[in-house]
Chain A
Amino acid sequence: MRIARNAAATLFCAVWLFPVYWMVNTAFKPYGDILSATPRFLPFPFTVANFADAIGKPGFLHDLGNSVLVTGAVVVVAIVVAFLAATALTRFRFPGRRGFLIAVLVVQMVPVPALVIPLFLSLKSVHLLDTFLGLGLTYVALVLPFTIWTLRGFLQGIPVELEEAAMVDGAGRGTVIRRILLPLVLPGIIATSVFAFITAWNDFLFAYVIMKDQSGYTLPVWLVSFSTSTGTDYGGLIAASTLFALPVVVFFALVQRRLVEGMTAGAVKG
């Protein structure tokens, strides 16, 4: 039985890792080895020419900058806004609290592609098409239901007595949030920022529709337009995809333990 289980796990790993391996393998292969009818399974001889090629392509660095700017802003804004909301929802009891929670749950059910048309037209009428503000606001709204919900779960787990004790000792509400709540809720903040980061970094559809001007392209849009216009430079394209995936992989690797912890905490509450 043990052998069968290990064999199944090995097979799963092989199948699931193969595309990743093939991406990295292709990215490091010389041009002639990429386009060969018999594939080479190891990147020897080895080259970084594809990466240089990708970075040298018009727009890559510029659009990378756009992605970093938008994603960074979205993560910060979404976390702050969600943290404030989650604090209100867990530390106060007020009329409308339940209604808000249900609204957050239901909004999560809305299929994202259905929002593309009205968002496009709404942003157009307030002159926010082709602006980072318009794109950033869209992403913040997309991640808010989930981030509020997750942070609320984490805040619920922190005993309110800790804050009350500090307030008895004369600390103001601001101090309590900064010195007590924030450090305790940090794992939750990390888990939710991963989600916000990935949503903004990976989005193609909204960036494609909202940022019509080439100067506003983010990396996903650059990648796709690059693949169709030049067509066949797979070396550069795959190297660019690898570079694009790298920050997410690093981020995931760094927070992996926290992420799985966060999912476990979330799973209990169903």
Chain B
Amino acid sequence: MTPVAGAEPPPRRRRRPLLPYGLLAPAAAVLALVLGYPLARLVVISVQDYGLRSLFTGTVGWAGLANYLAVLGSPDLGPVLARSIGFCAALMVGTLVIGLAVALLMGRLGRRMRAAVMFALIAAWAIPNVASTLVWQWLFQPVYGVLNWLLSRVGVLGDLTQHDWTTSAFSAFALVWLLVVWQSVPFVALTLHAGLTQIPRSYYEAAAIDGAGPVRVFATITLPFLRPVLGLVTILSVIWDFTVFNQIWILTQGGPSGQTTTLGIWTFTTAFSKNSFGQGGAIAVVSVLLLLAMTAVYVRRLVRSGETL
């Protein structure tokens, strides 16, 4: 589809070879200064002795690998890593399974029912992150939270009316998990639904004539067609779920006693509460590398497909 691909470019495009660079310049400048430079600086900070004193005096000493050694030698590292990866996986699986189920369901609903599901998705998506986190706090509030009351009524878990979900690590994570899945399903479901509507109907008709069952239809038609979109939402889910911050910070601040501290929270508290920007930087670099490792296959495929961009 690239209009100017292939053939010799028309001569008038040669006359002003600088124009495309001019058009690109503002975007390139902002990206380089506000994303590129800080990323490079992050790496530099991680080998510096950047603390509260440097913040005021402006003089910074080199720390070599001391920050990394401190992070890698910290007794917190293991639990934080396990928590971050486990939580990310739990969020990702929850979001993708529910999102795919809803997307498949939407394709088989009547017009009105589909509009209702679409409305529910858009509503949950549109409520800003911070607002829904505060509403969540209120839903599960000890004594007055309506969901504690409802759960107590159902009675399976006993009387929960006084229960504070943030006092144990497991239930605090459950609380955050429910919130993040609730927030992220809309994007995944709508994108997958959009992908599903692109599959030509004739394939399904042919499959029906051949007498293929629903499982076979899903495996041989739906899944292969959906793969690029599925890849996209999976990778975005990994990135977002691995870096969830607001919800944990507002609901638990990483507590009780650090038991819901993930890499993002650890980075933040190390830098801004303990004023150790160097160590915080080292944790951030470790998380970027970890995320890169998790998404490497996808990034490689993207860069390779860049040949035809």
Contact = CB atoms under 8 A, between A and B. Distances in A.
A189 interface: no
Interface in A240-258: 241-242, 244-245, 248-249, 251-253, 256
A256 B123 CA distance: 11
A82 interface: yes
Interface stretch (B73-81, B167-175, B194-202): B194-202
A117 B34 contact: no
B228 interface: yes
A98 interface: yes
Contacts of B126: 245, 248-249, 251-253
Contacts of A13: 116-117, 119-120
Nearest to A205: B245
B151 to A, nearest CB: 12
A260 interface: yes
Interface in B1-48: 1-5, 9-10, 12-13, 17, 19-21, 23-24, 26-28, 30-31, 33-39, 41-42, 45
Contacts of B135: 19, 22-23, 238, 241
B200 to A, nearest CB: 12
A88 B20 contact: yes
B246 A204 contact: yes
A102 to B, nearest CB: 5
A112 B13 contact: no
A105 B302 contact: yes
A105 B31 CA distance: 12
Given A100-B28, A141-B34, A111 B239 contact: yes
Nearest to A140: B30
Contacts of A23: 127, 131, 135, 138
B182 interface: yes
Interface in A116-138: 116-119, 121-122, 124-125, 137-138
Interface stretch (B89-97, B204-212, B216-224, B265-273): B265-273
Nearest to A78: B30
A92 B129 contact: no
Given A119-B38, A141-B30, A270-B231, A234 B138 contact: yes
Interface stretch (A1-9, A47-55, A57-65, A180-188): A1-9
A81 B26 contact: yes
Contact of B24 (A22, A85, A256, A270): A85
A4 to B, nearest CB: 10
A201 B127 CA distance: 11
B17 to A, nearest CB: 7
Interface in B214-248: 228-229, 231-232, 239, 242-243, 245-246
B65 interface: no
B27 A92 contact: no
B299 A109 contact: yes
Interface residues of A, number: 104
B124 A20 contact: yes
Given A84-B27, A91-B3, A156-B2, A118 B41 contact: yes
A32 B191 CA distance: 43
B70 interface: no
B26 A85 contact: yes
14 contacts: A9-B113, A13-B116, A22-B138, A94-B17, A107-B31, A109-B292, A113-B267, A140-B34, A141-B35, A160-B4, A220-B130, A252-B126, A264-B197, A270-B228
Given A19-B124, A241-B130, A263-B191, 7 more contacts: A13-B116, A20-B123, A85-B24, A117-B271, A204-B129, A224-B134, A256-B122
Closest 6 CB pairs of A and B: A270-B228, A141-B34, A160-B3, A118-B38, A88-B23, A85-B27
Interface of A: 5-6, 8-10, 12-13, 16-17, 19-20, 22-23, 26, 34-39, 80-82, 84-85, 87-94, 96-98, 100-107, 109-119, 121-122, 124-125, 137-138, 140-142, 144-145, 148, 156-157, 159-161, 164, 167, 198, 201-202, 204-205, 209, 220, 223-224, 227, 234, 237-238, 241-242, 244-245, 248-249, 251-253, 256, 260, 263-264, 266-268, 270
Interface of B: 1-5, 9-10, 12-13, 17, 19-21, 23-24, 26-28, 30-31, 33-39, 41-42, 45, 50, 55, 58, 102, 105, 108-110, 113-114, 116-132, 134-139, 141, 143-144, 146, 149, 161, 182, 185, 190-191, 194-195, 197-198, 228-229, 231-232, 239, 242-243, 245-246, 249-250, 264, 267-268, 271-272, 277, 280-281, 284-285, 287-288, 291-292, 295, 299, 302-303, 306-307, 309
